Amino acid sequence: MERYWNKEIECMSREDMKKLQDERLVAQVKHVYANVPYYKKLMDEKGVTPDDIRSTADLHKLPFLTKADLREAYPYGLLAKPLSECVRIQSTSGTTGKRVVAFYTQHDIDLWEDCCARAITAAGGTKDDVCQVCYGYGLFTGGPGLNGGSHKVGCLTLPMSSGNTERQIQFMIDLQSTILCCTPSYAAYIGETLHEMGYTTDDIKLKAGIFGAEPWTEEMRREIEKSLGIKAYDIYGLTETSGPGVSFECSEQTGMHINEDHFIAEIIDPDTGEVLPEGSKGELVFTSITKEAFPLLRYRTRDICVLTREKCSCGRTLVKMSKPLGRSDDMLIIRGVNVFPSQIETVLIEQGYAPNYQIEVDRVNNSDTLDINVEMSDDKFSDMVKDIQQKERELAAAIKTMLGISPKVHLVPPKTIARSEGKAVRVIDKRKLQG
Ligand code: ADP
Ligand code: ZN
């Protein structure tokens, strides 16, 4: 039986949801125009006033905000409430450059935690569950967000933070955790360590995992589900819009429902900024219509995905986003070909390798090189050089079929690629390091 945290909202008719969004958007634009000089200037430059925004149909008239704006306005330039009304600051993990900070009033914290409670409930969580949160705590939004959501649901919450993996497993066994929240790469690492410590899935009580904060493939989902004996659910969010919980997966596991009562989603062409019709692949843009302190309008996430309103078997009517293929700025252009690390991950897991790999891109004699270090699992480990070369050739051929360009594959001994306790670093682009 499907469980909802807020059935009225999660299963609301499109008509009612649109009405709610219309009202909230109109009020939010007024609030931002009156309180954020930085955004007022952008609107003035575009010749738009709050009176021009009468419903969501007018959304496209508003200017975009980008990460560059956030950096320019750092730290207080986009704040829409007096600091005395703010109760929290969080910050991005800085994956792609200088960190940005986001501010929250108590109202903003409540709505964020509420979104996380929806995600936990959709994954089957109730007050009878023990929820082990191993996202990082601190400025990073992962730990605090899921921690708050878990409290709301009434789960017994284990605020573990990331790291100290053997202790994570000991607690998981001793305290009979039923739900695990962390990055997918850390979940894979926890699974690996569990088996190394001589345990099996029979020794743990986990039933579900809520994994996000970085891209992961369907192949990786199956691996994690097998190694931990659970159902693995995706969760998405970004600091700029509050944190995890902007969207979450339901029992159907075919994309994440966006909490549309708080966030309006659009898909745009990243080159022209034009809004694309439903079903098109493009850059995801969010407008937060309920946040008070840091209410970004038309924020360009740089995440590439597809939105769909097809009926979902879970009964929710909230629009669904596909797993982001990766960020537009994660995309590598190698010898003119667009490559997402997730495509390489798909091939590796299909070929029976664990998701322990690192991609190195360089430029030698004016030509791009692509080297992929892939760890052998214990059962594949072979010290027969001939064998290794054969396996490297097979893997390179499979990757060439996927990408259209030939990589150099290097099989490396087990446990030589660093494991991730947070967001995994998959790519070293030496071309960028050289400037
Ligand atoms: P940073 O941009 O420094 O990593 P955040 O910690 O706020 O800062 O990360 C937000 C970004 O993480 C998103 O824009 C997206 O690229 C990525 N992300 C979050 N959740 C997911 C997910 N479930 N799948 C893929 N990518 C995700
Ligand atoms: Zn659903």
Distance CA 423, CA 46 (A): 37
Ligand 1: atom nearest CA of 140 is 6
Residues in CB range of 383: below 8 A, 6 or more apart: none
102-125 per-position pLDDT tens digit: 999 999 999 999 999 999 999 999
3-28 per-position pLDDT tens digit: 999 999 999 999 999 999 999 999 99
Residues with CB under 6 A from ligand 1: 92-96, 212-215, 234-239, 301, 303, 323-324, 327
Q: How far is the CA of 122 from the centre of ligand 2 (A)?
A: 9
Which ligand has the minimum distance to the alpha carbon of residue 99?
A: 1
- CA 179 from chain centre, in angstroms, equals 18
Q: How far is the CA of 432 from the centre of ligand 1 (A)?
A: 21
Ligand 1: atom nearest CA of 141 is 6
- pLDDT for residue 76: 96
- What is the DSSP secondary structure assignment for residue 317, as one 8-state letter? -
Q: How far is the CA of 232 from the centre of ligand 2 (A)?
A: 14
Residue in 344, 337, 268 with CA at minimum distance from that of residue 305: 268
Which ligand has the minimum distance to the alpha carbon of residue 3?
A: 2
User: What separation in angstroms does the CA of 111 have from each of 30, 108, 261, 271?
Assistant: 20, 5, 10, 33
Q: How far is the CA of 214 from the centre of ligand 1 (A)?
A: 5
214-244 per-position pLDDT tens digit: 999 999 999 999 999 999 999 999 999 999 9
Ligand 1: atom nearest CA of 330 is 16
**148: three-class secondary structure by DSSP:** helix
Q: Does domain 1-329 have CATH number 3.30.2180.10?
A: no
Q: How far is the CA of 250 from the centre of ligand 2 (A)?
A: 5
Residue 313 near residue 287, CB atoms below 8 Å: no
125-167 per-position pLDDT tens digit: 999 999 999 999 999 999 999 999 999 999 999 999 999 999 9
Residues with CB under 5 A from ligand 2 (ion): 250, 252, 312, 314, 316
By alpha-carbon position, which residue is closest to atom 13 of ligand 1? 238
In CATH terms, the fold of domain 332-429 is: GMP Synthetase; Chain A, domain 3 (3.30.300)
289-330 per-position pLDDT tens digit: 999 999 999 999 999 999 999 999 999 999 999 999 777 777
Q: Given a cut of 50, is residue 362 above it in pLDDT? A: yes
Domain ranges of the chain: 1-329, 332-429
Residue in 294, 289, 298 with CA at minimum distance from that of residue 79: 294
The Cβ of residue 126 has, within 10 Å, a number of other Cβ atoms equal to 13
- pLDDT for residue 327: 79
Q: How far is the CA of 17 from the centre of ligand 2 (A)?
A: 16
- pLDDT for residue 173: 98
Which ligand has the minimum distance to the alpha carbon of residue 320?
A: 2
- pLDDT for residue 136: 94
If pLDDT is split at 50, 70 and 90, which confidence band does 49 have? very high
- pLDDT for residue 435: 43
Domains 1-329 and 332-429 share a fold: no
Ligand 1: atom nearest CA of 240 is 7
Tokens standing for residue 140: 């990073």
Q: How far is the CA of 412 from the centre of ligand 2 (A)?
A: 40
58-89 per-position pLDDT tens digit: 999 999 999 999 999 999 999 999 999 999 99
Q: How far is the CA of 31 from the centre of ligand 1 (A)?
A: 27
Q: How far is the CA of 68 from the centre of ligand 1 (A)?
A: 16
- pLDDT for residue 365: 86
Mean per-residue pLDDT, 247-275: 97
By alpha-carbon position, which residue is closest to atom 8 of ligand 1? 92
418-431 per-position pLDDT tens digit: 999 999 989 999 98
Ligand 1: atom nearest CA of 94 is 3
Q: Given a cut of 80, is residue 288 above it in pLDDT? A: yes
Q: Given a cut of 60, is residue 434 above it in pLDDT? A: no
**Ligand 1 mutation pick, 67, 140, 214, max ligand atoms within 8 A of CB:** 214
What proportion of the chain, given as a percentage, has pLDDT over 70?
97
By alpha-carbon position, which residue is closest to atom 14 of ligand 1? 238
Q: How far is the CA of 395 from the centre of ligand 1 (A)?
A: 29
If pLDDT is split at 50, 70 and 90, which confidence band does 92 have? confident
Which ligand has the minimum distance to the alpha carbon of residue 239?
A: 1
**142: three-class secondary structure by DSSP:** helix
Distance CA 36, CA 424 (A): 35
Ligand 1: atom nearest CA of 301 is 14
